[in-house]
Chain A
Amino acid sequence: MARVKHAKAAANYIHHSKNPKAQHNAASHLRKKRDREVINVPGWEHLRETASQIKMHTLSNLDKYLEEFERKATQNGVKVHWAQDGNEMNEIVYGILDQHQVPYLVKSKSMLTEECHLNDYLEKRGIDVFDTDLGERIVQLSKETPSHIVVPAMHKTREDISELFHDTMKTEKGNLDAKYLTLAARKDLREKFMNARAALTGVNFGVAETGTVTIATNEGNADLGVNKAPVQIHCMGLEKMVPRQMDLSVFLRLLGRSATGQSITTYSSHYQRPKPGGEMHIVLVDNGRSKHLGMEDFWTALKCIRCGACMNTCPVYRSGGGHSYGYTVPGPIGSIITPARDINQYDDLPFASSLCGSCSDVCPVKIDIHGQLLKWREVIVDHGIVDKSKSIPMKMGSKVLSKPSWYRFAGSIARKVMKQFPGLVSSMVKDWTRGRELPEVPKESFRSWYIKNKKKNDK
């Protein structure tokens, strides 16, 4: 199915969805919680800088650390697999489940398996998948995709969820009590957990020194699943690596605070060895990451620890909703990852930003997100990928902006034209004015106002 471009999908969300404010309110709420928590951490900026450097160090020695990680994990009795792309990851996971004749899989939140469409793959082959994180379960039951990487059902209201649970779990109609609904989902999944023979999770950090898989969650679903089932599988993107156990101290201090304003998530698990009598598998997944590593201007996007802070703070994400990006990882970080994976498909996303820079300000690993958005725009325009309505005015714009006298002249003409023919101007920028008003035209330019007032003040 062809992907709908961001501008259209976002407009659709704003004008035609039932609750276009749900996402906005939830994301703003998280952003505020983050600020309240972060302000109390002495040396926060230093912590961010340290995290950024550790990630750059790791990525620039990634082959070495992956090998060390594999060696250590293997010594610990873990089976390590390598997958070049999503399909290979799916094959590997299916192979393990098939070998054990597992009827179903309990899975905890993993954006990587969303990225690789694992659920589809397994269900087509007769293995049911139960997403066990509440938010993820909600989107699974409603046959949707996550709209946020940390809070997958962020776009849904209590009313939506109450209705969904009534239809799928026979909860009381119209009961909006969040506790009642949560406990209903807990009960519904309990039996699945208790009898599961295989469980799968994503990974937040892999530690080379100790072969550790670290997972940060709040609900306890990941750990309950993994520890009840004899077979545990962890799917991990290559970029999740950190060198030593001590490095975890830096990232776990940043992750929960940036994500939801928690000093740490309720559970931060460290798996080194399989349970007695059990099996532990780690699948290392590339799926475009090694290629991304070679992009001089863009490789630092791989530092991302998937906290979601850049989404929560982004005005474009909050208004247009997570689904409008048409990719598993939405928001500012999604908009710089996607073109690295497939520039033809996602050439619209670097334009889905106001470049306000708030994303870069909150990012716990200091990715220059808005800088990269701008760079991607250049790349896309240079390659002529961008559609004409954006590229010609942009080229003219940059010509005019590069010469002060042209700019001044263009400004004086524009002020006149806009006064005389406001309708004409609106229709020229009609995509921009949809949902907005053009501002009133000032009588004079800022420059002439400034010169006049400066003279006054100098007197």
Chain B
Amino acid sequence: MTSREIILGKIRKNKPDSIEHPGIPDFSWPGEDPIDRFGVKLSQIGGEVQLVESYTEALQKVDKLEGNVVKYLVSEDRVLNDEEPETTVINGELAVVENAAVFVNVDRLPERFVPFLGERLIVLVQKDKIYKHLHEAYDHLDLNQIGFGIYIAGPSATADIAQILVRGAHGPSKMEVWFYNDRK
């Protein structure tokens, strides 16, 4: 017998009588002004929100950023250089109010390690793709269609030395979410 069969056999023999799945209740979350609440939450964990009118305006703003900037926003943006960028700009799928997380579909990036390199990470999210909590957010995702997807909430952090918070442990030390009104 293979290990697989032995393990499954033991589980079948030992498992308790089937218990029902409870379903996911309809949890509430304070609803008013989600972008504002998201911003407060993000600032508490060391990030920052910016508001821009349109996607076009966001792109223009990105072009004005100084230093070594790499962006993966429209399909032409596929260059990768060797050195670590100062700023990395990517698209996000959605944002979550309760924890200031944004979901990034990493399949849209040329390499999977892109969100973890650089000093400062900027994620662009459409303003109406904001959901109050994770239950609502997962309702708008389909992991079956995604190879690698990730929630990112704030900059990389550690408090492993005497509980003192340090940002930029292995990933970026700054994180911004830019909300834009529409795709134009």
Contact yes or no, A224 B116, CB < 8 A? yes
Chain B residues, CB < 8 A from A56: 16, 19
A134–B150 contact, CB under 8 A?
no
Question: Provided the pairs A54-B21, A218-B158 are in contact, do residues A249 and B138 lie with their beta carbons within 8 angstroms?
Answer: yes
The listed residue with most B CB atoms (<10 A of its CB), out of A43, A49, A219, is A219
* B residues near A67, Cβ cutoff 8 Å: 8
What are the interface flags for A128-172 relative to B under an 8 Å C-beta threshold, 1 for contact and 0 otherwise? 000011110010000000000001110011100100000000000
Q: A50-B22, A134-B169 are in contact. Are A181 and B152 (CB under 8 A)?
A: no
A270, B24: Cβ atoms closer than 8 Å: no
B7 contacts A218, CB within 8 Å?
no
The residues of B with any CB-CB pair to A shorter than 8 Å are 2-4, 6-8, 10-22, 24-25, 27-30, 41, 45, 96, 98-101, 111-113, 115-117, 133-135, 137-139, 141-144, 146-164, 166, 168-172
B17 contacts across to A, CB distance below 8 A: 60
Are B8 and A66 in contact, CB atoms less than 8 angstroms apart?
A: yes
A219-B133 contact in complex given A43-B28, A267-B152, A270-B146, C-beta closer than 8 Å: no
A105 in the interface, Cβ–Cβ < 8 Å? no
CB atoms of B27 and A83 under 8 A apart: no
Q: Write out, one digit per residue, whether chain A residues 4-37 have a CB within 8 A of any chain B CB (1) or not (0).
A: 0000000000000000001001100110000000
- A121 an interface residue at 8 Å Cβ cutoff? no
Residue A88 lies at the interface, judged by CB distance under 8 Å to chain B: yes
A79 close to B (CB within 8 Å): no
What secondary structure prevails in chain A residues at the interface with B?
Answer: helix
Residues in B neighbouring A284, C-beta threshold 8 A: 7
Q: Is the CB of A245 within 8 A of B141?
A: yes
Please name the residue on chain B nearest to A250 by beta carbon.
B24
Residues of chain A within 8 A of B142, CB atoms compared: 245
Judging by beta carbons under 8 Å apart, are A221 and B169 in contact?
A: yes
The reply to whether B116 and A264 contact each other, CB–CB distance below 8 Å, is: no
List residues of A (291-306) whose CB comes within 8 Å of B's CBs.
Answer: 291, 293-294, 296, 299
Instruction: Decide if A47 is an interface residue (CB 8 Å cutoff).
Output: yes
Do A57 and B21 have beta carbons less than 8 Å apart?
A: yes
Which residues of chain A have C-beta atoms less than 8 A from B41's C-beta? 263
* A272→B142 CA distance, assembly (Å): 11
| Chain B residues, Cβ within 8 Å of A246 | 24, 135, 138-139
Q: Does A408 contact B (CB under 8 A)?
A: no
Docked pose: A152 CA to B161 CA in angstroms = 10
Query: Is B134 a contact of A249 with CB atoms below 8 Å?
Result: yes
Interface CB pairs A-B, < 8 A, 24: A29-B163, A43-B28, A57-B22, A84-B3, A178-B164, A193-B170, A210-B143, A219-B169, A220-B156, A220-B171, A223-B171, A227-B113, A248-B134, A264-B134, A264-B153, A266-B153, A269-B149, A270-B146, A272-B144, A272-B149, A274-B147, A284-B7, A290-B7, A293-B15
Partner of B169, one of A47, A218, A248, A294: A218
Q: Is A119's CB within 8 Å of the partner chain B? A: no
